[in-house]
């Protein structure tokens, strides 16, 4: 879609199909699944019933094989297998950090690569999901921003990350399906086991992997609608956070149409510094951005906006910066919390992380003003899985190369 006042960053393009001529059902809405079944020859009523059954098997049970869909007539299963697939991204590499964080390098059907990260904690398990291969933006402290090749991920590739994570974590429910009896058209009932709604490992999703999710609005929305669907993954919108670097024209729609928590990558409180480190600021400035935060649908005490703030030594980490941050939050009447992220280094980065004392002092100043400002513990740094370290081709470009990429992206921003 065209973003007002902005050249359309990238399109999804035509992604070659994983299953040859077969249609991949991952990422389609329930109605769209019904639609492809009708196109394949089923009548509308049968298609609707089958779509409901297939949806439940796909998203509630994690099944990828039509033969395992035991409430669908046996004769129908090969017919489905011939025409459709339920795909997953290909795992190119899987790594585990010493702190338990896991990172997967994934490949799409066209060979494009992107990463996803799982961060286990005592009380939750958070999946960090990518929305694009690379990023058209070029925040100066972010490794992903140095990637030249960019394409949007399709809804199926976004929701596919969640499906794959649940496969890898082994947390699909097993056994018979609650509320789904045997197929009335089938004479055999080959169900077995008991369904138990066991405790979840993957409890939260953050759209904080590679890419700018609001530059890929439609696909991200489609994917998150599936993730939130009650008869499937059924994750509450309160457990999902979308992070944006500040694509102001799309923020209201994100609130209205997706309705998840919003995190905003603020990172600086003056035009001069934000222009430098988050170049999108030259297009949508701090004032516009904070107004959009104040207007974010549902923004109130119950749904606080999170400001992400990367701690860069001698760049944005002074006491004055902290005071200005508090002043801005008050001026715009925001119910916000601030997440302080110690800068995570990557090869060729030109910043350093603020000292732990500086980070603490910065955090204390904000806390004293009554605004929560926890310091995020870096996770998975040893496998380059921490915030801003994701990049699918592990090369170390020269400074000149990095500057060239930055210039190209800046020129594209207009
Ligand atoms: N593109 C979106 C979401 C992905 S990045 C966005 O920018 O908001 C998730 C968070 O990590 C963002 O706040 C981003 O600015 C931050 N980040 C990027 N590079 C980082 C680095 N090297 N160290 C710490 N945080 C970083
Ligand atoms: Fe893109 Fe976010 Fe990285 Fe900026 S911080 S370059 S918007 S992924």
Distance 382 CA to ligand 2 centre (A): 21
Distance, in Å, from the CA atom of 285 to the CA atom of 22, rounded to the nearest integer, reads 46
Say if ligand 1 is within 6 A of residue 265 CB.
Answer: yes
Q: Which of 116, 216, 245 to mutate to test the pocket of ligand 2 (most atoms within 8 A of CB)?
A: 245
Cα–Cα–Cα angle for 34, 39, 45, rounded to 5 degrees? 45
- C-alpha closest to that of 353 among 97, 128, 141, 119: 141
Taking residue 367's Cβ as centre, other Cβ atoms within 10 Å add up to 15
Cα–ligand 1 centroid distance for 277 (angstroms): 11
pLDDT band (50, 70, 90) for residue 408: confident
Say what the pLDDT of residue 189 is. 39
Distance from the alpha carbon of residue 5 to the mean position of ligand 1, in angstroms? 24
Each residue's pLDDT tens digit, 347-384: 889 999 999 999 999 999 999 999 999 999 999 999 99
Q: Which long-range CB contacts under 8 A does 70-78 form with residues at least 24 apart? A: 70/182, 70/183, 70/189, 70/190, 70/191, 71/177, 71/180, 71/181, 71/182, 71/183, 71/186, 71/191, 72/183, 72/186, 73/183, 73/185, 73/186, 74/186, 74/188, 76/50, 76/185
Q: Are strands 261-265 and 102-107 parallel, antiparallel or unpaired?
A: unpaired
Q: What pTM was estimated for this model as a whole?
A: 0.91
Secondary structure letter of residue 384 according to DSSP? T
The Cα 207–Cα 130 span in angstroms is: 6
Q: Which of 136, 140, 243, 391 to mutate to test the pocket of ligand 1 (most atoms within 8 A of CB)?
A: 243
Q: CB–CB of 181/56 below 8 Å? A: no
139 within ligand 1 shell (Cβ under 6 A):
yes
- Which residues, 6+ apart, have CB-to-CB distance to 194 below 8 Å? 175, 176
Atom 24, ligand 1: residue with shortest CA distance = 343
Q: Give residue 266 CA to ligand 2 midpoint distance, Å.
A: 11
Name which residue leads in pLDDT, 185 or 235.
Answer: 235
pLDDT score for 185: 47
Residue indicated by tokens 């008869």: 231
Ligand nearest to the CA of 9: 2
Residues annotated catalytic, as ranges: 115, 387
d(CA 136, CA 138): 7
Give the residue among 342, 352, 357, 351 at the shortest CA–CA distance from 387.
342
Ligand 2 pocket (Cβ < 6 Å) reads 135, 137-139, 142, 144-145, 211-212, 245, 265
Q: How confident is the model at residue 5 (pLDDT cuts 50, 70, 90)?
A: very low
Q: Best substitution site from 131, 142, 289 to test ligand 2's pocket, by max atoms within 8 Å of Cβ?
A: 142
pLDDT at 414: 67
- The number of the ligand nearest the C-alpha atom of 138 reads 2
């Amino acid at each position: 879609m065209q973003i007002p006042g902005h050249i359309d960053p990238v399109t999804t393009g035509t992604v070659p199909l994983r299953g040859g001529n077969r249609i991949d059902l991952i990422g389609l809405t329930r109605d769209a699944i019904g639609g492809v079944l009708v196109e394949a020859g089923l009548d509308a009523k049968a298609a609707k019933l089958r779509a409901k059954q297939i949806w439940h098997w796909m998203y509630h049970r994690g099944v990828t094989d039509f033969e395992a869909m035991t409430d669908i007539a046996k004769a129908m299963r090969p017919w489905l297998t011939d025409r459709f697939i339920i795909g997953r991204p290909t795992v190119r590499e899987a790594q585990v950090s010493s702190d338990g964080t896991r990172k997967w390098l994934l490949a799409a059907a066209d060979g494009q690569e992107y990463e996803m990260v799982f961060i286990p904690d005592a009380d939750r398990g958070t999946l960090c999901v990518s929305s694009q291969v690379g990023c058209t933006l070029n925040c100066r402290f972010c490794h992903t921003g140095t990637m030249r090749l960019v394409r949007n991920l399709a809804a199926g590739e976004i929701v596919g990350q969640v499906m794959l994570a649940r496969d890898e974590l082994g947390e699909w429910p097993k056994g018979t399906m609650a509320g789904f009896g045997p197929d009335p058209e089938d004479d055999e009932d080959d169900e077995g086991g008991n369904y138990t709604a066991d405790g979840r490992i993957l409890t939260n999703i953050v759209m904080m992997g590679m890419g700018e999710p609001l530059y890929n609005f439609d696909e991200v929305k489609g994917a998150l609608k599936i993730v939130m669907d009650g008869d499937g993954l059924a994750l509450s919108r309160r457990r999902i956070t979308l992070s944006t670097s500040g694509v102001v024209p799309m923020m209201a729609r994100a609130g209205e149409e997706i309705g998840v928590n919003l995190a905003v990558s603020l990172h600086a409180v003056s035009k001069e510094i934000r222009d430098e480190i988050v170049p999108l600021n030259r297009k949508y400035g701090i004032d516009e951005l904070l107004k959009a935060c104040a207007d974010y649908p549902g923004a109130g005490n119950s749904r606080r906006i999170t400001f992400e703030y990367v701690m860069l030594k001698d760049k944005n980490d002074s006491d004055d910066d902290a005071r200005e941050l508090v002043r801005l939050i008050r001026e715009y009447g925001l119910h916000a919390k601030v997440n302080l992220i110690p800068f995570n280094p990557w090869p060729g980065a030109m910043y350093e992380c603020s000292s732990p004392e500086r980070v603490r002092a910065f955090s204390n100043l904000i806390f004293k003003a009554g605004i929560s400002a926890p310091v995020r513990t870096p996770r998975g740094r040893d496998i380059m899985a921490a915030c801003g370290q994701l990049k699918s081709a592990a090369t170390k470009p020269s400074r000149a190369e990095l500057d060239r990429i930055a210039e190209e992206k800046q020129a594209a921003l207009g």
